Structure 1
Amino acid sequence: MIPITRASVQAIPLSYASCSIGCKPSDTLPRKLEAISKAGFISIELSFPDILEYGAHLQGEPFSPNNFSKLVVIAAEIRKLCDANSLTIMMLQPFANFEGWPRGSSEREDAFARARGWIEIMKVVGTDLLQVGATDTPADKISISREAVVTDLRELADMLAKHNFRMAYENWCWSTHAPGWKDVWEIVSAIDRPNVGLCLDTFQTAGSEWADPTTESGIIETVPSDVLQKNFAASMDELARAIPPDKIYLLQISDAYKVSPLQKETIAGLRPRGRWSHDYRPMPYDGGYLPIENVAKAVLKTGFRGWFSMEIFDAGPEGKGKKYEMDAFAKKAMDSMQKLLENCTDE
């Protein structure tokens, strides 16, 4: 495995997800970008909801997320904002609930129509990377057979390849068919396309195989704690040895609050880990409890030195909201990112 030197981590490019900052109506996209840039980040993950929100601001009213003729116009304005703040757009996200729909279904037709529309947005904003989250559509509505999933994603990969675009496939810890890093790595390997790699995530990885927001302890309780720790360490060692660094496109960074046990039921279409993900994800060293350094170290041990990107959803430990000024918040995020990188070195 590759040593993690201080010099090598200092060269890692740093990004910030546009959906990960702002807590009040006055925190508009132009202000978000300004704060992110001032804090020293050089790129953003552009979140689709931010395109919709900024478009509604410019147009004076909301419009359909499928109105791609309008969306590309808004996207062009966002690219100008990024240019003015010396920011590139590293990735468009989150493209979700794509794979597994029955052939001939209206849902499958919509999924591919969305893909074509998002590709048009990518052309305008100047990114070559699309994040695809492992679907959380219920299993009674889609096929979760590995063959069906791989076939759909391979077709998407080929659509992207026509434009020299790439796909970063991410495990969501509440996904119907791919909650863990090993699941998405097996799928990416089966897709077998040079433009398909992984979007790994400290929260999603630790949140799928170490933590559990429905238990009193906040960790998985189906095995003894010492066995859980041993299993997680073995998993991280396997990740470090199994994945070629060029098949990792980015690592997203966030932690999680230990919460009062969440109900195990699906609420408003979200499973417990999905609800946890939406509101309880602080930046590193700001109240979380996940072993995120273990995940980051495993990724770095592969030799990967590409994008580290802050993606946090911090509504406070109670999930009731958190007030802050964006400039200070973005600077704190940069400081926590630097601390994480420093703590991951072997020196």
Structure 2
Amino acid sequence: MLQPFANFEGWPKGSAEREEAFSRAKGWIEVMRTVGTDLLQVGATDTPSHKISTSRSDIVSDLRELASMLEAENFRMAFENWCWSTHALGWKSAWEIVRDVDRPNVGLCLDTFQTAGSEYGDPTVESGLIESVSPEKLRENFDASMDELASTVPPDKIYVLQISDAYKVSPPLEDKVVRYLRPRGRWSHDYRPMPYDGGYLPIEDVAKAVLKTGFRGWFSMEIFDGGPDGKGRTYEMGAFARQAMANMQKLLKNCANS
């Protein structure tokens, strides 16, 4: 899979930004040909809402056009919610968009961090949890969402599941845009370890829900680990890769009954 192609959908018709987005798409398709992949990951745009349309019909129309461009090459699109995006923060929004695009070459890229990070975690508070409801209600809501995912999304519409966790940020991130990124965007870029390596999100629950759909496709570990302080870590890649494989096997074992 080639990723992440982003900030594509929603630009006003006739705008220079829309023209540039479609030009970028053509360039990414050329890269796909060159590297030999048939799958493009498209991340839900995080362009501010005053610059783009967040109308579902406009979003769907743009993604249909991209789907047609990919279909001409026998390529596919995996659309992903980003937990700081402008119009598709959660799995359900992403699924409803994919459902409405209704093309055979368009499916989902689901992600344990993006799902739990949008519905359970909050990097701007000491608890690391969404605090608009009680911890008990938060857990109840999250469990209900995972049950809905498991019973709603067709397995053939999930193209890949990305795996990572998140550190509980201390001190919390400021609740403001920094370098064009919202707090959850900064969280995503710098504070995402592999499973069982210091994170706290209920990522096993996300993986179990995806497996309960009947999905048996690709698992991909996606790590942006700058350490608990987000300032960077030193790695020895051989040891890191071996630990990543061991931790992925642990995740699969823990989710095996789903």
Task: Flag whether TM exceeds 0.5 (same fold).
Answer: yes
In structure 1, what is the Cα distance between the partners aligned to 2:77 and 2:257?
31
SS at match of 2:104: coil
For 1:325, give the aligned amino acid: E
For 1:304, give the aligned amino acid: F
Query: What is the RMSD of the two structures over their aligned residues, measured on CA atoms?
Result: 0.7
Q: Aligned residue for 1:58?
A: none
Cα offset, 1:333, TM superposition: 0.5
* Correspondent of 1:220 among 103, 113, 130: 130
Per-residue CA deviations over 1:257-288 (Å, capped at 9, x if unaligned) read 00021101001100000000000000000000
Per-residue CA deviations over 1:55-88 (Å, capped at 9, x if unaligned) read xxxxxxxxxxxxxxxxxxxxxxxxxxxxxxxxxx
Q: How does 1:1-347 map to 2 (within 5 A)?
A: 91-260=1-170, 261-346=172-257
Q: Which has the larger radius of gyration?
A: 1
Unaligned runs of 5+ in 2: none
In structure 1, what is the Cα distance between the partners aligned to 2:3 and 2:155?
22
- Which structure ranks higher in relative contact order (CA pairs < 8 Å, sequence separation ≥ 6)? 1
In structure 1, what is the Cα distance between the partners aligned to 2:239 and 2:166?
20
Please report the TM-score for the alignment, with normalisation by the length of structure 1.
0.74
In structure 2, what is the Cα distance between the partners aligned to 1:94 and 1:346?
31
Per-residue CA deviations over 1:296-321 (Å, capped at 9, x if unaligned) read 00000011010000100001001111
For 2:80, give the aligned amino acid: E
In structure 1, what is the Cα distance between the partners aligned to 2:190 and 2:126?
18
SS at match of 2:162: strand
Cα offset, 1:342, TM superposition: 0.3
In structure 2, what is the Cα distance between the partners aligned to 1:210 and 1:243?
20
In structure 1, what is the Cα distance between the partners aligned to 2:231 and 2:43?
26
In structure 2, what is the Cα distance between the partners aligned to 1:215 and 1:154?
38
Per-residue CA deviations over 1:15-55 (Å, capped at 9, x if unaligned) read xxxxxxxxxxxxxxxxxxxxxxxxxxxxxxxxxxxxxxxxx
In structure 1, what is the Cα distance between the partners aligned to 2:231 and 2:11?
35
For 1:105, give the aligned amino acid: S
Cα offset, 1:216, TM superposition: 1.2
In structure 1, what is the Cα distance between the partners aligned to 2:142 and 2:215?
20
SS at match of 1:308: strand
For 1:160, give the aligned amino acid: L
In structure 1, what is the Cα distance between the partners aligned to 2:226 and 2:163?
16
In structure 2, what is the Cα distance between the partners aligned to 1:120 and 1:233?
41
In structure 2, what is the Cα distance between the partners aligned to 1:159 and 1:193?
12
SS at match of 1:251: strand
Please report the TM-score for the alignment, with normalisation by the length of structure 2.
0.99
SS at match of 1:179: coil
For 2:182, give the aligned amino acid: R
Percent identical: 75
Cα offset, 1:324, TM superposition: 1.5
In structure 2, what is the Cα distance between the partners aligned to 1:232 and 1:286?
22
In structure 2, what is the Cα distance between the partners aligned to 1:345 and 1:195?
29
For 1:289, give the aligned amino acid: Y
Cα offset, 1:207, TM superposition: 0.1
SS at match of 2:4: strand
In structure 2, what is the Cα distance between the partners aligned to 1:346 and 1:250?
19
Unaligned runs of 5+ in 1: 1-90
In structure 1, what is the Cα distance between the partners aligned to 2:226 and 2:173?
15
In structure 2, what is the Cα distance between the partners aligned to 1:114 and 1:346?
42
SS at match of 1:200: strand
